[in-house]
Structures are given as C-alpha cells and as structure tokens.
C-alpha cells in the first residue's frame, strides 16, 4: 500500500515538473512572439543607433561605444532627435512594406525561375527603385547622419524583400 | 491596391511627413547640442629660468582655429651663445613619437626679448606629448636646450559694464592673470595708481561678502597707465598639492584705483567660465 502511495506521489511530482516546464516553454514562446512582432521596431532602433554612433564617433574621433553615452546622456535634444529618427525609420519601413506587399500581388516586371524544385518570382523593378534611391541619397547634400541611416535602411529593405522571395516561393 | 492598404499608406505618409518636418526644423538645435567644438589641445608654454624666460606662448588647436606663438622669449647671458651671431630658436613638438620643429631665426643679444609670432606650419598635429626648446647655430648644432613646461589651460572671463579682464586663463596649477581694459579712459588721469588683488574664496559655504573669507594669491600694484588697456601679462604659479586645484576655486579680482589725495575707487569682479559682452 505504501509503495502505491509513494508511486502516486512521484507521479504527481513528475506531472508538476512537466507542467512547470510547459509553462516555461510557453513563456519563452510568448517572449519570442513579442520580439518577432517588434522585430521591425528593434531593427529600425539598431539602424538609428548605428548611424548616430558612427557619425558621432567619426566627428569626435572616439570609439563607437564611447559615442553611445553622447547619444543618450549628453543632451535631451540629442536623445529626442534620436527617438524622432527611429520613428522616422519605422514609418519609412512601413511605407515600404505596404508598397512592396501590394506590388507583390501584381504580375508586372517579374522574373520567374526554378531552383531546386521551387518556383521563385523576383519583382525586379523594386530593386531598381531602391538602388536609384540609394545612389541619390549617397550623392545628395544630406547630412552624413542621414546618409548612413538611409543606406542602412535600404539594406534592410533589400534583405526583407529577399526574405519575401523565399517566403512566397511555390 | 486594396482600399484598406491605400488608407494605411496615406496615414503612414502623413505621419512620416509630420516627423520629417520636425526632423528638418529641429536639426539645427540637435546639431548645436550634439556636435560641440572639439578642442584638441590648449597649452600655455612657459620657461622660468634666469637665462631663458618664455611667457605667454600659446599652443591651441580646435576644429577651426590654430595658434602657435604670440609670446615672448627673453634670453639672458648664456655662455654657449655669442652676441651678434645668428641662431634659430626651435620649438621641438613631440607628437605620437615623432619630432616636429617650429623655428624662429634670431640674432642673439644678452637680455634681449624676442617676439614669437603666430606660426601655423604644424597645424596638422592633433596631439602634443612634450615640447623642448632648442637654440641651434648656423652649423645645425644644438647650443642650448631646455624643457618647456606645458600648462593645459581653459579660458576664464571677468567683466562688468565698463571693465574687463582680457585673455585670462587657468590650469590646475597656473594662471595667466590677463590684463585690464576699460571704456572709461579718464580713470587713468583721475586715479594714477592701481592695485589688482587676485583672490579665491577660502570656504565655498562661507560668506562671499566677507573679505576674510578670501585668499589673495597675487597682488599687482603700479601706475594705472602701465596696467590699464595695456597688454601686460603676468602669471601665477599655484601650489596645487597643498592648496588644491585652481580649477575648483571661485576666483575674483579686487581692483583699487587711488590718487595722491588719498581718494580711492574700489570694485570687485568675479571670474566665470562663460564669455559675455
């Protein structure tokens, strides 16, 4: 009888462990979903941080890490401007997403090809437009901060469209 | 494009325009607050020895300005130098392990003071490790050499409506006292004698109006015509170890004009880090 009770207790403990494990995995999954949903916000933040950090470190001839306190602790105007550039990046990326997703549904300016039993479609006009904009930004009289920011944004847009090609393959 | 996508796109474009316009109009404020002028170095050079005295020689570089010179060198009797011979005074600036020279040709005379003009041939150097003064003869042999003392300085300002102390600067253990200028030139005739008392506050928490709460570290007395509106620079060497850094002191100057009748005109001015008009 005692042995049965012990076995029962052991089983309860094991079940509790499994439940806590499930809760833990669920929590990780939730955290991952939050990060996934916020991925564009995170990447646009990193782009703003890289542009500001690089521009300030070039100006003061200091290390990239040394420039970070100058972004957030130097002046409220610097921090505020950083946040504005971040929001600006996010909005630009949203505009790009809406245009690119609508354009993906059209049948114009497409290159179709087969690769390893999958059918891929590339909307080439989008890349041409991004490259033209990139060249315009590089040669424009914009401040260097915005040049770095826009170059990184265009790279991010191209990476996203490559991901879309892979995602939409047949 | 679907209707919902169109409305999303329009809303996002509108928001982007608002943020973009804010970025455009705030850029000047952001630039001013973020990208200050970077000063690479600001030194006042000095040598204080009986045979060689260098004063008021400034070495300064920021992103748009450079000075090297504007000082004077007084040479006393130096055995290795011959009167009437041509020599070159060479400031050897050591930067990143290499030596760079700034030369001034002179004809030597004992107790002669040489004016060293601004010379910008070394304006590309972004750091200075040490400085040496060499006197070189016509055969390029070094006949005299002395280490130059570098004082890392910062400008300080002192003014009221009529009076101003110009070109004063301090380091931890040194002060160039500057010189007094005024728009009221009649003061020289009215009060032919002047006394300037440079002082700092003994106890920061104490009474600033109490004269006993001040340490007078330098007193200059003389004729007003020699000290007012005349670029007459004097310096003060401060004992940092026993008295603390000059940079942490609250500095002021008491100016006392007087005449033969015993009449006096006294006022005080505080030194600040901010320039003003």
Give per-residue pLDDT as tens, A109-137: 777 777 777 777 777 788 888 889 889 98
Task: Give me the pLDDT at residue B71, please.
Answer: 83
Find chain A residues with C-beta within 8 A of B12's C-beta. Answer: 91, 94-95, 98
Query: Taking residues A8-31, what's their average pLDDT?
Result: 77
Q: Residue A128: its pLDDT value, please?
A: 86
pLDDT higher than threshold 90 for residue B16? yes
Domain boundary among B151, B185, B218: B151
Tell whether the model's pLDDT for residue B101 goes beyond 70. yes
pLDDT, residue B277, reads 46
Could you tell me the sign of the dihedral formed by the alpha carbons of B171, B173, B179, B181, in that order?
A: positive
CB atoms within 10 A of CB B118: 11
Q: Does residue A2 lie in a domain region?
A: no
B72 found inside a domain: yes
Instruction: Assess contact for B74 and B46: CB atoms under 8 A.
Output: no
Closest CA to B75 of B146, B168, B149: B146
The reply to whether B164 and B131 lie within a common domain is: no
Is B8 in contact with A56 (Cβ distance < 8 A)?
no
Flag whether B220 is in a domain: yes
Residues B107 and B191 in one domain: no
Q: Give mean pLDDT, residues B100-105.
A: 90
Q: Do A88 and B16 touch (CB under 8 A)?
A: yes
Residue A18 lies in a domain: no
- Supply the range of the domain harboring residue B222: 153-270
| Confidence at B276, pLDDT banded by 50, 70, 90 | low
Count the domains in chain A: 1
Structure tokens at B239: 């004992």
CB contact under 8 Å between B16 and A74, yes or no, is: no
Same domain membership, residue B234 and residue B184: yes
In sequence order, which residues have a C-beta less than 8 Å from that of residue A93 and are 6 or more positions away?
A40, A44, A153, A156, A157
For the cut 70, the answer to whether the pLDDT of residue B275 exceeds it is no
Q: Does A95 touch chain B (CB under 8 A)?
A: yes
Average pLDDT estimate for A140-155: 92
**Tokens coding A40:** 């564009």
Residues B71 and B27 both lie in one domain: no
Q: What's the residue count for chain B?
A: 277
Q: Mean pLDDT score of chain A, rounded to an integer?
A: 84
Domain harbouring B210, CATH code: 2.60.40
Which of A88, A100, A108, A143 is the best substitution to test chain B (most B C-beta atoms within 10 A)? A88
- The more confidently predicted of residues A116 and B245 is B245
Q: What total of structural domains would you count in chain B?
A: 3
Domain boundary at B151, B171, B199, which? B151
Same domain? B209 vs B265: yes
Do residues B95 and B159 lie in contact, with contact meaning Cβ atoms separated by under 8 Å?
A: no
With CA atoms as reference, the chain A residue closest to B18 would be A88
Instruction: Say yes or no to pLDDT of A107 above 50.
Output: yes
Give the pLDDT mean for B29-50.
Answer: 82
Answer whether A68 touches B (CB < 8 Å): no
Average pLDDT over residues B158-187: 86
Radius of gyration of chain A measured on its C-alpha atoms: 25
Is residue B221 one of the residues assigned to a domain? yes
Query: Does residue B112 sit in the same domain as residue B46?
Result: yes
**Is residue A33 less than 8 Å (CB to CB) from chain B?**
no
Answer yes or no: is pLDDT of A100 > 60: yes
Q: What is the pLDDT of residue A92?
A: 93
For the cut 60, the answer to whether the pLDDT of residue A56 exceeds it is: yes
Same structural domain for residues B132 and B49?
yes
- The predicted pLDDT at position A1 comes to 61
pLDDT at B88 over 60: yes
Rounded distance, CA B138 to CA B87, Å?
6
Residue B195 falls inside a structural domain? yes
Kindly state the average pLDDT of the residues B43-71: 84
Q: Is B48 part of any domain? A: yes
Confidence band for B1, pLDDT divided at 50, 70 and 90: low
Residue A154 lies in domain: 38-167
- B143's enclosing H/E stretch is strand B142-147
Q: Does A92 touch chain B (CB under 8 A)?
A: yes
**Interface predicted TM-score (ipTM) over 0.85:** no
> Are B124 and B58 in the same domain?
yes
| Same-domain status, B59 and B82 | yes
Residue B179 DSSP SS3: strand
| Boundary residue ending a domain (B127, B151, B175) | B151
Give all strands (DSSP E) within B11-109, no chain letters.
39-49, 52-62, 66-69, 71-75, 86-95, 98-107
What is the CB neighbour count within 10 angstroms for residue A142? 14
Write down the residue that tokens 């109009």 correspond to: B25
Rounded Cα gap, residues B48 and B44, in angstroms = 13
Angle separating helix axes A39-60 and A64-72, nearest 10 degrees: 110
Residues 6+ apart with CB under 8 A from A135: none
């Amino acid at each position: 009888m005692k042995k049965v009770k012990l076995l029962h207790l052991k089983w309860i403990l094991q079940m509790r462990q499994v439940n806590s494990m499930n809760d833990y995995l669920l929590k990780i999954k939730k955290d991952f979903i939050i990060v996934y949903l916020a991925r564009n916000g995170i990447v646009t933040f990193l782009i703003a941080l890289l542009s500001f950090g690089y521009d300030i470190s070039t100006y003061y001839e200091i290390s990239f890490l040394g420039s970070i306190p100058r972004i957030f602790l130097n002046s409220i105007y610097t921090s505020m401007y950083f946040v504005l550039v971040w929001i600006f990046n996010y909005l630009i990326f949203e505009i790009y997403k809406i245009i690119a997703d609508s354009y993906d549904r059209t049948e114009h300016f497409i290159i179709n090809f087969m690769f390893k039993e999958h059918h891929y479609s590339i909307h080439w006009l989008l890349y041409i437009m991004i490259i033209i904009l990139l060249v315009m930004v590089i040669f424009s009289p914009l401040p260097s901060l915005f040049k770095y920011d826009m170059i990184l944004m265009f790279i991010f847009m191209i990476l996203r469209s490559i991901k879309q090609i892979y995602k939409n393959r047949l | 494009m679907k209707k919902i996508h169109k409305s999303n796109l329009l809303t996002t474009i509108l928001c982007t325009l608002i943020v973009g316009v804010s970025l455009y109009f705030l850029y000047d404020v952001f630039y001013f607050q973020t990208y200050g002028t970077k000063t690479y170095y600001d030194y006042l050079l000095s040598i204080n020895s009986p045979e060689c005295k260098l004063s008021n020689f400034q070495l300064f570089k920021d992103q748009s300005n450079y000075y090297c010179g504007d000082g004077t060198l007084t040479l006393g009797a130096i055995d290795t130098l011959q009167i009437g011979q041509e020599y070159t005074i060479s400031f050897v600036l050591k930067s990143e392990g290499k030596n760079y020279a700034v030369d001034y040709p002179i004809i030597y005379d004992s107790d002669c003071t040489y004016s060293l003009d601004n010379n910008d041939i070394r304006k590309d150097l972004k750091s200075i490790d040490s400085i040496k003064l060499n006197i070189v003869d016509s055969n390029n042999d070094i006949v005299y050499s002395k280490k130059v003392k570098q004082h890392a300085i910062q400008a300080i300002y002192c003014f009221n409506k009529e009076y101003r102390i110009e070109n004063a600067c301090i380091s931890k253990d040194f002060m160039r006292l500057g010189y007094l200028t005024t728009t009221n030139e009649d003061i020289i005739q009215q009060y032919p004698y002047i006394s300037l008392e440079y002082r700092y506050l003994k106890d920061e928490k104490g009474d600033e109006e109490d004269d006993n709460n001040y340490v007078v570290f330098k007193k200059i007395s003389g004729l007003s015509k020699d000290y007012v509106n005349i670029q007459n620079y004097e310096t003060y060497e401060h004992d940092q170890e026993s008295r603390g850094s000059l940079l942490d002191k609250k500095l002021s100057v008491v100016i006392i004009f007087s005449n033969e009748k015993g009449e006096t005109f006294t006022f005080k001015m505080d030194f600040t880090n901010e320039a003003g008009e």
